[in-house]
Structure 1
Amino acid sequence: MEIPTAYIGGYQIARGRDPEVAEAYIRHTMIGDPLADALVEDLASFGPQEVHSMLATALESSDAARSDMPESLRAFVAEAEAVPDWFDAGIARVASRAFLRNSDIVLAALVGGSIVEGFSTLISKSFRIRGRVADSGVRRLKQNGMQLVEQYLPGGMEPGGDGWRLTLRVRLVHAQSRYLLNQSDEWDHERYGEPISAAHILLAGAAFSGRLMRHVATLGGDFSTEEREAYIHVWRYTGLLMGIPEAILFDDEASACRAFEIGSLCEPPADYDAIIMANSIVNSAPVIIGVTEPAERRKMARVVTQASRELIGDELADTFLFPSRKRKVIPAMRFRHRARRIVQKVLPRVKARGDLDRFTALMDFASFDAAAFSYRLPTALHDEESADW
């Protein structure tokens, strides 16, 4: 098996825990997304607006409108429209109700835990090379938030639904970024494997599903066992749409957490790229909730950073150079969330008002301009040189 040199040390450790999962992970560090990769190569000769129009027609129109499109695009859409037999819309509705009831907690776990942990891997290097750092931190959080919300709104993941389309857009942006990195001399293929590899998409899916459910529990969420598995069920389908090969796709919460654990062990130690990206995320979080005044933003960023430290653990937080405070913030958050549920059980009007406020905040977090549904793709390796997308 060909092993990228940066992974050799981690792979030996991971093999001691789970040789089968470790080997599968390493094999997929050398694999991108054949279907999406073929499509972006075919789209390379078109301008940004032509790409947008073509993809918009393909993802939002009937089969007849696609007859004169590249075969790679028709194959991409055909695969995306083929809903797997195991996906259950009834289970997805269970996940939707649980998500909406816990949306503020889920988003806190996403920002403070799962996204930060995801950037401890070599995927951070591809983002840093492309320049998706400080100025784009807010945009990235918005995009992640919007995609997550649309996944769990009823019908969002049905073919043609907003969650479905946003997921495919993310997949194509990954493929285009991989194409640009592979065309440059800034990516060391022998050392790092394929940029934004199938292994990294698996680890991201595991972080945003099974790992995120662990963070939600830490923060005081009230997902039942059935609801936790329903949440993973939706993310399993999302992972498939994002390009995770079915051979390595997780089945449930336990296998998602196992994939995250073993994949993280395979990864080399977090470097400066990971430090840059992780700090970009936690320092962008206050802006997302409307805190823009510099002093207040710094104060809120310190709270987010401490919460992240408590979720991801001191070892990784120290690697990210997150400051440490003696006063913990997670216990107070957990108490507040649990107290809220108790009050809402005995005061229905308070519950109704709380549900409305939470839904309004959810829409504010996930709100994005029309660019969210633009299908334009980056046109240059470095983001500052790219046409708008």
Structure 2
Amino acid sequence: MKNPTIPARFQDTAEARRRFGDQLDRLAPFLHRVDPVADAVVDAFASMPSGQGFRQLEVGLARGIDAVPDAPAELRALFAAVDHVPLWVDWEAVNRGGTAFLRTGILGGILLAMQALILGYASPGGNKPLVFSGRLREQAPRRLGETSRFVHAVSLADGMRRSGEGFAITVKVRVMHAQVRRLIRASGRWKTELWGEPINQHDMVATALLFSVAVLDGFDKLGYHIPPAQKEDLVHLWRYVAHVIGVEPELIPGSYAEARRLAEMIFATQGAPDNDSRLLVSALLSHGIGSGWTESQRRRAEQLVSIFCSVSRSVLGEDLADQLGVPRQSSLLTVPLLRAIAAASSRAHALPSLQHFALDLGDRYWQRSVAVALGGRPADFAPPEGFVGRGT
């Protein structure tokens, strides 16, 4: 019999119970847990003139919280939390994990969009905060660009150090999540009994797993070999990102094996994709086909979408891809060709003489892809003052 205090989205099936036992009982409550430290910050910001709180946050990130003499106690508490570096953090491992990912270049970019983001959309409960923001199709390229910038910044050497851009963006995203939570609650339309709390601890750690375990799984499926030690390094990077972004210590996996088991547990209990999942995937796949483009530009964009769909179906699996409405493509050569390129690239990247070149090439790819996706507009990760659309 299902526990009535557990949100309906949590599918405690017989098969999941067989595989994970009473770990399910310990996972489910995190759907009701959020981030009280960041929530208190946005409550404090709400009493200030528009934009003042975010400016204080930016000054604190750039110069330290002591450089903000009128900072509220809530903001000081947030900085006390994020300025603390846990004993387990290994900076060399953090940097190695980011380097291993950046070295994959365009392959990592494809997997970020066509596997990690799509798997996030597949969650019929976890996708609801995105749906509440409204205007799914119009926001898809912006969302992809901001996510790409976030992933690139945390992956750079020393990007997660206190003065790094990745660290600053992570803290801003934490505060942005809290503001989105505040707006959703104020809307009066959120269904806690179905979905749990908006942007809860369960979904926060799931995002870190998408950018680590899920992406690593995609590399394996495409034949790009990442050594076990580098897999541990990438998980270690996202372990620290999860800490800074507000995930509770109990929930953060400490190894690749723990992270993979937690990812499998979350996937086994989330239920089938819903119509919102399909709308989000459709928006992601079609955002590059502009209405004002020339016919040749549209054909090229459609060809790229066809390639991306083929790759996505390959890494997601046919059954999940069908549930998400990822179009079937007629090309039989796309995935085998990409696998051949991926395998050759991984062999080349294992050569010490080519590793620096591959990293430089990968970094340039990410800089360009972020610039294109954002369309020249800055991404400041400021907390929204309201939603742009009606939502679900």
TM-score, normalised via structure 1 length? 0.89
Specify the code of the residue in structure 2 equivalent to 1:307. Answer: V
Say if 1:52 and 1:376, in contact at 8 Å, map to a contact too.
Answer: yes
1:365 aligns with 2:369: yes
For 2:15 and 2:40, locate their aligned partners in 1 and report how far apart those are by CA, in whole Å: 35
Candidates 373, 377, 389, aligned match of 2:383: 377
> What residue is the counterpart of 2:287 in the other structure?
284
Which ranges in structure 2 are unaligned for 5 or more consecutive residues?
A: none
1:170 aligns with 2:176: no
Note closer, same or farther for the CA distance 1:260–1:148 as it changes in structure 2 (3 Å cut).
Answer: same
1:302 aligns with 2:309: no
Say if 2:65 and 2:71, in contact at 8 Å, map to a contact too.
Answer: no
Note closer, same or farther for the CA distance 1:345–1:317 as it changes in structure 2 (3 Å cut).
Answer: closer
Specify the code of the residue in structure 1 equivalent to 2:383. Answer: L
Candidates 338, 343, 348, aligned match of 1:333: 338
Which ranges in structure 1 are unaligned for 5 or more consecutive residues?
A: none
Say if 1:125 and 1:274, in contact at 8 Å, map to a contact too.
Answer: no
Displacement of 1:13 after TM fit?
4.5
Displacement of 1:179 after TM fit?
0.8
Percent of aligned positions with the same letter in both sequences?
A: 22
Candidates 128, 133, 144, aligned match of 2:131: 128
Number of residue pairs matched by the alignment: 380
Note closer, same or farther for the CA distance 1:12–1:360 as it changes in structure 2 (3 Å cut).
Answer: same
Note closer, same or farther for the CA distance 1:264–1:71 as it changes in structure 2 (3 Å cut).
Answer: same
Say if 2:101 and 2:108, in contact at 8 Å, map to a contact too.
Answer: yes
1:371 is paired with a residue whose SS is coil
Specify the code of the residue in structure 2 equivalent to 1:283. Answer: S
What does residue range 104-183 of structure 1 map to in structure 2 within 5 Å? Answer: 104-121=106-123, 122-131=125-134, 133-183=136-186
Candidates 227, 230, 239, aligned match of 1:236: 239
For 2:357 and 2:251, locate their aligned partners in 1 and report how far apart those are by CA, in whole Å: 43
Say if 2:6 and 2:29, in contact at 8 Å, map to a contact too.
Answer: no
Candidates 36, 44, 51, aligned match of 2:46: 44
Note closer, same or farther for the CA distance 1:30–1:101 as it changes in structure 2 (3 Å cut).
Answer: same
Q: CA-to-partner distance for each residue in 1:342-365, whole Å, 9 max, x for gaps? A: 67899x7x9887665443222112
For 1:345 and 1:85, locate their aligned partners in 2 and report how far apart those are by CA, in whole Å: 31
Q: CA-to-partner distance for each residue in 1:172-199, whole Å, 9 max, x for gaps? A: 1111111111111221112221011110
For 1:3 and 1:54, locate their aligned partners in 2 and report how far apart those are by CA, in whole Å: 38
Displacement of 1:340 after TM fit?
4.3
Displacement of 1:383 after TM fit?
1.9
Say if 2:278 and 2:325, in contact at 8 Å, map to a contact too.
Answer: yes
> What residue is the counterpart of 2:17 in the other structure?
15
1:376 is paired with a residue whose SS is coil
Say if 1:206 and 1:250, in contact at 8 Å, map to a contact too.
Answer: no
> What residue is the counterpart of 1:225 in the other structure?
228
TM-score, normalised via structure 2 length? 0.88
Specify the code of the residue in structure 1 equivalent to 2:272. Answer: P
Displacement of 1:221 after TM fit?
2.4
Note closer, same or farther for the CA distance 1:92–1:345 as it changes in structure 2 (3 Å cut).
Answer: closer
For 1:205 and 1:335, locate their aligned partners in 2 and report how far apart those are by CA, in whole Å: 28
Say if 1:48 and 1:377, in contact at 8 Å, map to a contact too.
Answer: no
Displacement of 1:90 after TM fit?
1.5
Displacement of 1:204 after TM fit?
1.3
1:311 aligns with 2:315: yes
For 1:156 and 1:93, locate their aligned partners in 2 and report how far apart those are by CA, in whole Å: 8
2:122 is paired with a residue whose SS is coil
Note closer, same or farther for the CA distance 1:163–1:20 as it changes in structure 2 (3 Å cut).
Answer: farther
Displacement of 1:218 after TM fit?
1.9
Note closer, same or farther for the CA distance 1:286–1:156 as it changes in structure 2 (3 Å cut).
Answer: farther
Say if 1:210 and 1:256, in contact at 8 Å, map to a contact too.
Answer: yes
Note closer, same or farther for the CA distance 1:355–1:285 as it changes in structure 2 (3 Å cut).
Answer: farther
After TM superposition, the structure 1 stretch with the greater mean CA deviation from structure 2, 56-65 or 109-118, is: 56-65
1:265 aligns with 2:268: yes
For the aligned residue pairs, the C-alpha RMSD in angstroms reads 2.7
Say if 2:95 and 2:237, in contact at 8 Å, map to a contact too.
Answer: no
Candidates 33, 50, 60, aligned match of 2:62: 60
Q: CA-to-partner distance for each residue in 1:40-61, whole Å, 9 max, x for gaps? A: 1111123442133111112212
